[in-house]
């Protein structure tokens, strides 16, 4: 039953002889809005300073302030009205950036019609290799691989802080309800997770760009299996898992800004099957005898075709193949798949993916950059050409994660 408007609900309740206790909505008790500087309220903007028109209390006056931060992109982009956003003691100038581009072709069209479409498949992991990316053509030839590492460093950092939180809690005994304990430590963990997710996702997109890929494919996250161990270990794993989701989310909008579309496929058995011939693989650690399947081990060996390689790279290739297998075509020989697996996979992945690709038409701005500068600027317009807010596009620094 559709939800009725409040007056209707009231009427209904009264006719049924019930009490109507619902209060009408109230405006927020306090406002926390950033001031937008429309044209005429700012001038003489340079890379290091801006002149703002501000209210002093008695009159309006021009105030020259210094600014720092990244350079604004200049290539075919349009700057919107900046906003003054308060961050504690400081004020930030947020500037929305608009870039216009034609919408990339639909996923199905790209996979089925262009023989030379390159697909960048990404396998996200909880271990050292945070992301393993492979580029393959729709025909199935493999062009490049990249490992994006740093998992151990971030895990070590988190574990240290989580351990400290656990010790603090043990010392304090009681944790006050509704109040964040160890706020500074939690903030550190969050900030580092956020930073790594941004770096990794940018590198994934850069790799895709370098090889001319127009499709980015991930697998669905699945569920995190509970692990045993100390608080720090469990908390760490959980955060590593959440980070996978964040990397996907960030890669999605970063890719869209480069006209690359993102999709996801079913994760089932992506790492258990050989990317070359489709047989079950053996997974083992270095120095061990290749036998059986050890989840999480770094290497794979295919007993059927003799393929030997890195387990995460194999999984990444399978993810790309699964996307290609979603659109079977008569003329085009697609990636080799075992006959018994093909049918089931098509069923599995056919349903899930298209929906995700569609949701992409209105890519979202990352929560981090959303604060304060999203008033109407991130909205995609209907029609062939679309405009949207783009975050600053400069290249991120090297992924180095020194421990403190």
- What is the nearest approach in angstroms of Zn ion to the Cβ of residue 338? 9
- Is residue 390 within 8 A of residue 97, CB to CB? The reply is yes
What are the backbone angles phi and psi of residue 385, rounded to the nearest 5°? Answer: -90, 135
Residue placing its CB nearer to Zn ion in the complex, 196 or 275? 275
Residue placing its CB nearer to Zn ion in the complex, 72 or 279? 279
| CA pair distance 156, 395, nearest whole angstrom | 26
350 closest CA partner among 332, 324, 331, 329? 324
DSSP state of 293: B
Residue 163 tokens, joined: 């351990």
User: Quick one: CA dihedral 21, 25, 31, 32, positive or negative?
Assistant: positive
**Bridge partners for 66 per DSSP:** 49
Consecutive H or E run containing 339: helix 339-359
One of 237, 276, 283, 313 touching Zn ion (CB under 5 A) = 276
- What is the nearest approach in angstroms of Zn ion to the Cβ of residue 264? 25
- What is the nearest approach in angstroms of Zn ion to the Cβ of residue 360? 33
- What is the nearest approach in angstroms of Zn ion to the Cβ of residue 346? 20
For position 302 contacting Zn ion by CB under 5 A, the verdict is yes
263-271, 303-311, 359-367, 386-394 -> range binding Zn ion (CB under 5 A): 303-311
- What is the nearest approach in angstroms of Zn ion to the Cβ of residue 276? 4
Helices and strands: H and E segment counts in the chain:
8, 17
- The binding track of 77-116 with respect to Zn ion, each residue x by CB under 5 A or -, is ----------------------------------------
User: Quick one: CA dihedral 219, 224, 225, 230, positive or negative?
Assistant: positive
- Is residue 294 within 8 A of residue 284, CB to CB? The reply is yes
Size of the site for Zn ion (CB under 5 A): 8
In 10 A of CB 401, how many CB atoms? 18
Residue 251 tokens, joined: 């890669």
| CA pair distance 312, 321, nearest whole angstrom | 14
What are the backbone angles phi and psi of residue 10, rounded to the nearest 5°? Answer: -65, -45
26-34, 297-305, 315-323, 375-383 -> range binding Zn ion (CB under 5 A): 297-305
One of 51, 54, 144, 277 touching Zn ion (CB under 5 A) = 277
By CB under 5 A, what part of segment 7-66 binds Zn ion? Answer: none
Residue placing its CB nearer to Zn ion in the complex, 302 or 337? 302
- What is the nearest approach in angstroms of Zn ion to the Cβ of residue 272? 12
218 closest CA partner among 169, 262, 153? 262
Residue placing its CB nearer to Zn ion in the complex, 196 or 273? 273
For strands 142-148 and 131-137, give the pairing.
Answer: antiparallel
- What is the nearest approach in angstroms of Zn ion to the Cβ of residue 279? 5
Residue placing its CB nearer to Zn ion in the complex, 257 or 280? 280
156-164, 186-194, 295-303, 324-332 -> range binding Zn ion (CB under 5 A): 295-303
91-99, 276-284, 351-359, 382-390 -> range binding Zn ion (CB under 5 A): 276-284
Residue placing its CB nearer to Zn ion in the complex, 338 or 350? 338
By CB under 5 A, what part of segment 235-274 binds Zn ion? Answer: 274
25-33, 255-263, 299-307, 338-346 -> range binding Zn ion (CB under 5 A): 299-307
Residue placing its CB nearer to Zn ion in the complex, 304 or 351? 304
Residue placing its CB nearer to Zn ion in the complex, 221 or 277? 277
By CB under 5 A, what part of segment 305-324 binds Zn ion? Answer: 305, 307
| CA pair distance 80, 97, nearest whole angstrom | 6
345 closest CA partner among 267, 272, 263? 267
- What is the nearest approach in angstroms of Zn ion to the Cβ of residue 303? 8
| CA pair distance 52, 37, nearest whole angstrom | 8
Residue placing its CB nearer to Zn ion in the complex, 22 or 291? 291
- What is the nearest approach in angstroms of Zn ion to the Cβ of residue 310? 14
Residue placing its CB nearer to Zn ion in the complex, 194 or 341? 341
- Is residue 265 within 8 A of residue 322, CB to CB? The reply is yes
By CB under 5 A, what part of segment 178-217 binds Zn ion? Answer: none
Residue placing its CB nearer to Zn ion in the complex, 252 or 276? 276
- Is residue 190 within 8 A of residue 243, CB to CB? The reply is no
Positions in the binding site for Zn ion (CB under 5 A): 274, 276-277, 279, 302, 304-305, 307
């Amino acid at each position: 039953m559709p939800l009725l408007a409040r007056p209707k609900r009231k009427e209904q309740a009264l006719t049924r002889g019930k009490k109507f206790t619902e209060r009408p909505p109230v405006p927020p008790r306090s406002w926390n809005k950033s001031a937008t500087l429309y044209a005429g309220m700012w001038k003489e903007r340079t890379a290091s300073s801006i002149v703002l028109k501000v209210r002093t209390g008695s009159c309006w006056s021009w105030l020259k302030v210094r600014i720092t931060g990244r350079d604004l992109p200049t290539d075919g982009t349009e700057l919107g009205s900046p906003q003054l956003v308060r961050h504690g003691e400081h004020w930030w100038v947020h500037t929305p950036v608009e870039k216009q581009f034609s919408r990339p072709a639909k996923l199905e069209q790209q996979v089925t019609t262009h023989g030379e479409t390159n697909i960048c498949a990404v396998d996200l992991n909880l271990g050292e290799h945070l992301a393993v990316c492979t580029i393959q053509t729709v025909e199935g030839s493999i062009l490049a691989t990249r490992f994006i590492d740093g998992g151990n460093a971030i895990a070590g950092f988190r574990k240290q802080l989580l351990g400290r939180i656990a010790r603090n809690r043990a010392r304090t005994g009681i944790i006050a309800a509704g109040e964040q304990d160890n706020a500074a430590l939690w903030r550190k963990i969050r900030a580092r997770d956020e930073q790594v997710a941004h770096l990794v996702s940018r590198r994934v997109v850069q790799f895709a760009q370098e090889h001319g890929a127009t499709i980015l494919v991930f697998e669905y996250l699945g569920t995190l299996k509970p692990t045993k161990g100390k608080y720090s270990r469990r908390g760490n794993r959980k955060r590593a898992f959440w980070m996978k989701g964040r990397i996907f989310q960030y890669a999605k909008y970063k890719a869209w800004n480069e006209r690359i579309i993102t999709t996801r496929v079913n994760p089932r058995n992506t790492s258990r099957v050989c990317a070359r011939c489709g047989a079950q693989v053996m997974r083992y650690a270095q120095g061990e005898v290749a036998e059986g399947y050890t989840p999480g081990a770094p290497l794979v060996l295919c007993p059927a075709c003799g393929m030997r390689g890195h387990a995460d790279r194999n999984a990444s290739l399978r993810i790309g193949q699964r996307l290609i297998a979603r659109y079977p075509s008569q003329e085009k020989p697609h990636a080799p798949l075992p006959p018994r697996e093909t049918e089931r996979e098509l069923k599995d992945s056919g349903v899930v993916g298209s929906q995700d690709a569609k949701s992409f038409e209105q890519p979202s701005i990352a929560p981090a950059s959303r604060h304060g500068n999203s008033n109407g600027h991130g909205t995609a317009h209907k029609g062939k050409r679309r405009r949207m807010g783009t975050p600053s596009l400069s290249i991120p620094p090297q992924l180095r994660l020194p421990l403190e």
